[in-house]
């Protein structure tokens, strides 16, 4: 390999290496904080924190309204429909986030008697800052500025983690202290990177129907995806009550989600390639098929790791008290990766080829299947029933997505 070829190889590899590095770093920091929370709170209180986290995660879907994915897609290759108003998207998204966050905080204050109002309000604030961070990250990724994005994400994860750590060590691990410190750290990061923000233009104070027509499909995808991945915690809480087993299940899902996050840098770069191929009428589906096959192979490998080393990993990280309750759960959730990782690639293919409506429909059907399976299996098998429901729903989603995208995959 001569000097020129080596330089080209390094130039192509560096963005992926930086993205993967910051993803591994973020996953490690998040896991470390989760270990601290779980050990400090105990299983019941950690289950309650996870429950509030999930509720705030549902509300943030309205705060985002699909703009995160829309910003990245339009930044990568503007659609003909939005080309004339592309410059207004960041300002429109920011106005929407401000209004919806204010409305949710007011509603939380009104309903505080029936909810853990302070915790949920802190969660709403935190997720609003997370949304801003994700939008800026999508703006970088859409432009192919993966190195700058990696630096930005590294700063955000480091500063927010330090804020959370100082707050927890000072006042204790509670949902309010965690969410407020997390949000404050992200705000500091955003202020420090204001020079890289997209330009904000003056917009009219009227309903931006032109933007919502384009983002509604992505909102539907986000809503269905959130329900699909997190409804099990809500159902477990309401069927079983506030029991330690939910904390055990939450610990297992944190490890499962951490592994999924490690795939994100690769999948997002695959998305840019899929988007470019989608704009080429002569391109075939070989690239996407190979990506799906690779994800399937990784999923099988991780499933084997989960059954052999999963309980030991939980014991090392969270302690023997959690390991005793997650021995089978961790193996089952790792088995779900056999289908979840290919589904991740299929989802990016659907967005890249503008089949997001079909993707959203598949997700909503999967949510229905997941809810029915959970309602049937949880009373019979407890948290193990929720794990089995995850595997079966991921399998159903794989079949539905492959069927709907067959024209793109085998053209």
Dump pLDDT digits (tens) for 113-158.
777 788 889 999 999 999 999 998 888 887 778 888 888 989 999 9
Three-state secondary structure call for residue 114: coil
The region, left, alpha or beta by phi > 0 then psi within -120 to 50, assigned to residue 79 is beta
Query: Tell me, what's the pLDDT at 171?
Result: 85
pLDDT, tens digit, 9 for 90 and up, residues 360-381: 788 888 888 988 998 898 888 8
CB distance 248 to 315 below 8 Å: no
Helices 244-262 + 43-64 axis angle, to 10: 50
Separation in Å, CA 164 to CA 18, 46, 176, 190, 351: 25, 16, 11, 17, 35
For residue range 4-35, what is the model confidence (pLDDT) as tens digits? 455 554 556 666 677 777 877 887 888 788 87
Res. 250 pLDDT band, cuts 50 70 90: confident
Residue 245 has pLDDT above 90, yes or no: no
pLDDT of residue 282: 67
Alpha-carbon distance values, 168 to 33, 39, 69, 185 (Å): 10, 12, 33, 14
Contact criterion met (CB below 8 Å) for 66 and 198: no
Q: What integer best gives the mean pLDDT of the chain? A: 81
The answer to whether the beta carbons of residues 13 and 263 sit under 8 Å apart is no
CA angle 327, 331, 333 (to 5 degrees): 115
pLDDT the model gives residue 3: 47
d(CA 296, CA 38): 32
**Chain centre to alpha carbon of residue 197:** 22
Q: What's residue 220's pLDDT? A: 76
């Amino acid at each position: 390999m001569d000097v020129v070829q080596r330089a080209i190889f390094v130039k192509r590899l560096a963005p992926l290496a930086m993205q993967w590095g910051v993803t591994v770093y973020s996953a490690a920091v998040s896991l470390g904080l989760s270990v601290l929370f779980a050990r400090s709170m105990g299983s019941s209180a950690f289950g309650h924190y996870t429950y509030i986290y999930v509720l705030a995660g549902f509300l943030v879907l309205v705060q985002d309204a699909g703009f995160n994915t829309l910003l990245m897609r339009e930044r990568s290759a503007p659609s003909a429909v939005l080309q004339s108003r592309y410059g207004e998207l960041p300002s429109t998204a920011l106005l929407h986030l401000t209004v919806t966050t204010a409305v949710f905080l007011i509603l939380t204050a009104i309903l505080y008697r029936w909810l853990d109002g302070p915790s949920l309000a802190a969660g709403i604030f935190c997720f609003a800052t997370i949304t801003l961070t994700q939008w800026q990250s999508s703006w970088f990724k859409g432009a192919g500025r993966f190195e700058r994005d990696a630096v930005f994400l590294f700063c955000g994860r480091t500063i927010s983690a330090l804020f959370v750590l100082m707050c927890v060590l000072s006042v204790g691990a509670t949902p309010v202290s965690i969410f407020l410190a997390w949000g404050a750290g992200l705000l500091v990061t955003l202020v420090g990177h204001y020079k890289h923000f997209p330009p904000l233009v003056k917009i009219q104070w009227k309903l931006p129907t032109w933007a919502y027509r384009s983002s509604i499909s992505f909102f539907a995808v986000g809503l269905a995806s959130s329900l699909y991945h997190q409804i099990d915690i809500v159902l477990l809480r309401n069927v079983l009550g506030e029991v330690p087993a939910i904390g055990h299940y939450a610990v297992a899902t944190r490890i499962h989600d951490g592994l999924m996050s490690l795939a994100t840098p690769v999948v997002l770069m695959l998305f840019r390639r899929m988007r470019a191929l989608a704009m080429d009428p002569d391109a075939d589906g070989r690239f996407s098929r190979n990506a799906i096959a690779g994800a399937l192979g990784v999923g099988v490998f991780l499933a084997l790791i989960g059954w052999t080393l999963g309980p030991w990993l939980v014991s090392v990280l969270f302690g023997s008290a959690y390991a005793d309750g997650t021995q089978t759960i961790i193996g089952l959730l790792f088995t779900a990766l056999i289908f979840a990782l290919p589904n991740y690639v299929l989802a990016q293919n659907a967005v890249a080829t503008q089949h997001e409506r079909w993707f959203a429909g598949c997700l909503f059907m999967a949510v229905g299947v997941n809810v029915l399976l959970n309602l049937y299996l949880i009373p019979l098998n407890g948290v193990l029933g929720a794990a089995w429901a995850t595997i079966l729903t991921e399998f159903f989603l794989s079949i539905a997505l492959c069927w709907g995208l067959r024209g793109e995959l085998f053209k």
